[in-house]
Amino acid sequence: MLGYVTVDKNELKVREWDVYQGYYCGMCKSISRRVGQLPRMVLSFDCVFLALILESLSENVEQISKEHCIMHHLEKKPVVFGSEALDYAADVMVILAYHKFRDDWQDEQKISALAGRMALALAYGRIKGCRPQVCAAVEDGLNRLSAMEKEQCAMIDLVCDVFGEILAALFSGYRFSCSTEDKAVEESFQTRARILEHLGRHVGRWIYVIDALDDMEKDRESGAYNPLLLRKDGLVGIEDMLYNELAEITKAYDLLKIKKNRGILENILFIGLRGQTDRILAERMKEHE
């Protein structure tokens, strides 16, 4: 269920692409530094958005350096470091990847999934010790999703809402640093958390629906669970549902006090997500007709 929340590189400025790539490489370095080398294999661009949105609410100046790595030993790549938000997003990436491997093993008995789960087990244990509430929210949500899959739930709105709750917990689970006990500041932080929760919920709902839509033919052939294949009305209303989710994401974003990297974030939200939605809808609607 990963691979949808990305930028349109062609619409980014050169510096913006360097910053975006810097967050990606920074997450890779963060994972290796704190939980080991093996978890770096699950890195993807999806959680870069989470790191960017959380860090954009801080006034800290990003520290970017150019470094070599095992994958790019000839050319140095930009790397963002010294960001707690980036470390949090890196942990979220490992959490989601671990459970993806776990679910694939349980559902399809894939040896590759078992190997992936075993490779991430130690790292996940460390992260769970540091972020027990976040891991508990993910585990609870995925257990509920698993139960709905076993029941062959055909109500896409109910199923995607559970995944939305998982993302809501991940977006609002980060604790911003605060050096004052000012009540007004605390209330501001609580408001920000509620906005991030709303943003995460609708990003999660959008991801679940767009993934189900994208995988329809593959799931039809394999017999895997897909609520869209069980609906009596087929794809009726799915287009409106997806664009409504994008509208809710935009509303939440507009309420946030973005302090930096607005161009990258708006590329993801207004070009990347919209482009994915338009493309996959066009493909599936054509097949459906």
Residue-wise pLDDT tens digits, 75-110: 788 899 888 999 999 999 999 988 888 877 776 677
Q: What percent of the chain has pLDDT over 90?
A: 62
> For the residues 105-125, what does the mean pLDDT come to?
80
- The pLDDT score that the predictor gives to residue 184 is 53
Query: Does residue 266 share a domain with residue 188?
Result: yes
Does residue 181 lie in a domain region? yes
Q: Which 3 state secondary structure label does DSSP give 112?
A: helix
Does residue 72 lie in a domain region? yes
The yes-or-no verdict on residue 180 having pLDDT over 60 is no
CA–CA gap between residue 247 and residue 44 (Å, rounded): 25
**Backbone φ, ψ for residue 58 (5° rounding):** -105, 150
- Tracing tokens 């997450």 back to the chain, one arrives at 27
Angle ∠(208,112,165) on CA atoms, nearest 5: 25
- The pLDDT score that the predictor gives to residue 72 is 64
Query: Does residue 106 share a domain with residue 203?
Result: no
**Residue 14 vs residues 68, 87, 127: alpha-carbon distances, Å:** 20, 25, 34
Does residue 272 lie in a domain region? yes
Query: Does residue 168 share a domain with residue 119?
Result: no
Nearest CA among 75, 97, 60, 96 for reference residue 18: 75
Query: Does residue 285 share a domain with residue 178?
Result: yes
Please tell me the total count of domains within the chain: 2
Nearest CA among 231, 71, 141, 108 for reference residue 79: 71
Query: Does residue 234 share a domain with residue 126?
Result: no
The mean of the pLDDT values for the chain is 88
Query: Does residue 232 share a domain with residue 178?
Result: yes
> For the residues 104-119, what does the mean pLDDT come to?
77
Domain boundary among 75, 95, 130: 130
Nearest CA among 93, 251, 243, 225 for reference residue 159: 225
Looking at mean pLDDT, say which of 11-20, 25-34, 63-72 comes out highest.
Answer: 11-20
Digit-coded pLDDT (tens) for 56-79: 998 888 888 888 776 666 778 889
The yes-or-no verdict on residue 147 having pLDDT over 70 is yes
Domain limits at 253?
152-289
Identify the helix (H) or strand (E) that includes residue 66: strand 63-67
Query: Does residue 122 share a domain with residue 161?
Result: no
- Tracing tokens 């399809």 back to the chain, one arrives at 108
Angle ∠(208,125,212) on CA atoms, nearest 5: 10
Nearest CA among 232, 99, 101, 68 for reference residue 156: 232
Angle ∠(114,138,109) on CA atoms, nearest 5: 20
Q: Which 3 state secondary structure label does DSSP give 174?
A: coil
Q: What radius of gyration do the chain's Cα atoms show? A: 19
Does residue 3 lie in a domain region? no
Does residue 7 lie in a domain region? no
CA–CA gap between residue 38 and residue 97 (Å, rounded): 12
Q: What 8-state DSSP symbol labels residue 75?
A: S
Query: Does residue 275 share a domain with residue 218?
Result: yes
Does residue 86 lie in a domain region? yes
In DSSP terms, 155 is beta-bridged to none
Q: Give the number of other Cβ atoms within 10 Å of residue 264's Cβ.
A: 24
Query: Does residue 177 share a domain with residue 69?
Result: no
- The pLDDT score that the predictor gives to residue 289 is 59
> For the residues 168-184, what does the mean pLDDT come to?
73
Amino acid at 90: A
Question: Which pair of tokens denotes residue 13?
Answer: 């400025």
- The pLDDT score that the predictor gives to residue 45 is 83
Query: Does residue 171 share a domain with residue 272?
Result: yes
Does residue 6 lie in a domain region? no
* pTM greater than 0.85 (yes/no): yes
Query: Does residue 157 share a domain with residue 288?
Result: yes
Query: Does residue 186 share a domain with residue 126?
Result: no
CA–CA gap between residue 147 and residue 221 (Å, rounded): 22
